[in-house]
Amino acid sequence: MSVDFRRGDLPTLPDSAPVTLIDDEGHRAADARDGGFDFPGADELKSLYRKMVVARRFDVQVTTLTRQGRMATYPSALGQEACEIGATAALRAADWLFPTYRDTIALLTRGIDPVDIFPSFRGDWHCGYDPSAHRTAPQATPLATQALHAVGAATAAKLKHDDVATLAFLGDGASSEGETHEAFNFAAVWQAPTVFMLQNNQFAISVPLAKQSHARMLADKAVGYGMPGYRVDGNDVAAVYAVVKSALGRARAGGGPTLVEGLTYRIEAHTNSDDPSRYRDDADVATWKTRDPIERLEKYLLSTGLLGEDDRRSIAAEAEDLAARTRDAVSAETTLDPLEMFDHVYAAERPEMRRQRDFLAAELARSDEATGANA
């Protein structure tokens, strides 16, 4: 009996200090090597800034509309723009994104129109956009199931020799779920071209990280599965973009999966039904607001002359235009067919499904007759 002690390029525990390329004050971080990652170019940084400013205006607008009762719920990403946009922007067009319910601004980054994003939050459709057209899976509400989907898609791409990688978003709460273990393990064993972007916003709804994980940090978990892990300053979009881009390139080259932990903070409540004052201090929120990802990059761009007043006016106008289109989209009345719920469930409709469809159709007809709806 032999034991396979694998040697060579075994991953080691990551550095506890997050990878940072632009610090809180908007200065280039002191490490001249940039941690071994490529510092983004001027055009890339300006594009990331524009995306974050526009996405924040969108996020604030949707939160306001939700508080007005125009949508059932909306999980805000305020404060997490660097993680979501930095990681998503690192994808190629052919890659696939597997987002969660909080990653709406990542969908914007993939070019999905807000008109097609809201049907799921309004309860009209499970997904309002074409996943294949945008190479973006529906936003997952069950915790961590999307990680398995990402690994499955990546493995399929590998077996077909497609030059495709997948990116799965996870939250710190999802890191305690069984599906995450299965996804990490399968991805490592099969060397799937997947990057797991774990957004550690420090609360799983109302549970602080210290009450759900005893790990030194979440990036440490990668070593146990035999894949590299990195801890990144999740409010530094330059660092997130550089690390995820590097990990995606490694995945496409056959290097296997990577876990990236982005250390950040959720500024808003979990959703509009949540009261965060019951489980966190205002002082913590105030501290993290001083580490704002947009202000940090803006300081850098202004200090280096890469951003001018004309740029800021143009970006602000684009953000207001999107906010206006968002208000129109959410306020628009929709006509729904209840029988649509049976569509697209099976390729060939099953007898029991047909019986349920016929039953509902008859109930609707009786209701219309009683109310004179179609008279």
Q: How confident is the model at residue 374 (pLDDT cuts 50, 70, 90)?
A: low
Q: What is the DSSP letter of 28?
A: B
The label of the residue with tokens 């390139």 reads 249
3-state secondary structure 115-142: HHHHHHHHCCCCCCCCHHHHCECCCECC
The label of the residue with tokens 């974050």 reads 52
> What value does the mean pLDDT take over residues 361-368?
93
Q: Identify the pLDDT of residue 2.
A: 47
Q: How confident is the model at residue 167 (pLDDT cuts 50, 70, 90)?
A: very high
Active-site residue, from 279, 313, 350, 366: 279
Q: How confident is the model at residue 5 (pLDDT cuts 50, 70, 90)?
A: very low
Q: Model-level pTM?
A: 0.92
Distance, CA of 222 to CA of 201 (rounded, Å): 18
Per-residue pLDDT for 100 more than 90? yes
Give the homologous superfamily in CATH for domain 31-331: Thiamin diphosphate (ThDP)-binding fold, Pyr/PP domains (3.40.50.970)
Element (H, E) at 260: strand 258-263
- Angle of helix 81-89 relative to helix 293-303, nearest 10 degrees? 70
Q: Which two structure tokens, joined as six digits, stand for 366?
A: 């009786």
263-309: pLDDT as tens digits:
999 999 998 888 999 999 999 999 999 999 999 999 999 999 999 99
Per-residue pLDDT for 175 more than 90? yes
Q: Identify the pLDDT of residue 335.
A: 84
CB atoms within 10 A of CB 276: 18
- The residue ranges of DSSP E strands in the chain, in sequence order, are 96-98, 166-171, 194-200, 203-204, 207-208, 229-233, 258-263
Per-residue pLDDT for 7 more than 70? no
Per-residue pLDDT for 77 more than 80? yes
The verdict on whether 344 is a catalytic residue reads no
206-245: pLDDT as tens digits:
999 999 999 999 999 999 999 999 999 999 999 999 999 9
Per-residue pLDDT for 316 more than 70? yes
Distance, CA of 22 to CA of 239 (rounded, Å): 7
Distance, CA of 78 to CA of 285 (rounded, Å): 12
**More confident site: 116 or 333:** 116
Residue 22's φ and ψ, nearest 5 degrees, are -125, 125
Active-site residue, from 266, 291, 296, 300: 266
**More confident site: 192 or 120:** 192
Per-residue pLDDT for 3 more than 50? no
Q: Identify the pLDDT of residue 1.
A: 43
Active-site residue, from 135, 252, 270, 296: 270
Three-class DSSP category at 235? coil
Q: What is the DSSP letter of 350?
A: -
The label of the residue with tokens 């019951």 reads 278
Mean pLDDT for all residues in the chain: 93
Q: How confident is the model at residue 33 (pLDDT cuts 50, 70, 90)?
A: low
The verdict on whether 126 is a catalytic residue reads no
Domain boundaries, the chain: 31-331, 338-373
DSSP 145-209: HHHHHHHHHHHHHHHTT----EEEEEETTGGGSHHHHHHHHHHHHTT-SEEEEEEE-SEETTEEG
Distance, CA of 229 to CA of 257 (rounded, Å): 9
325-338: pLDDT as tens digits:
999 988 888 888 88
Three-class DSSP category at 212? coil
The verdict on whether 74 is a catalytic residue reads no
Nearest to 263 by CA among 168, 141, 172, 143: 172
Three-class DSSP category at 98? strand
Q: Identify the pLDDT of residue 31.
A: 67
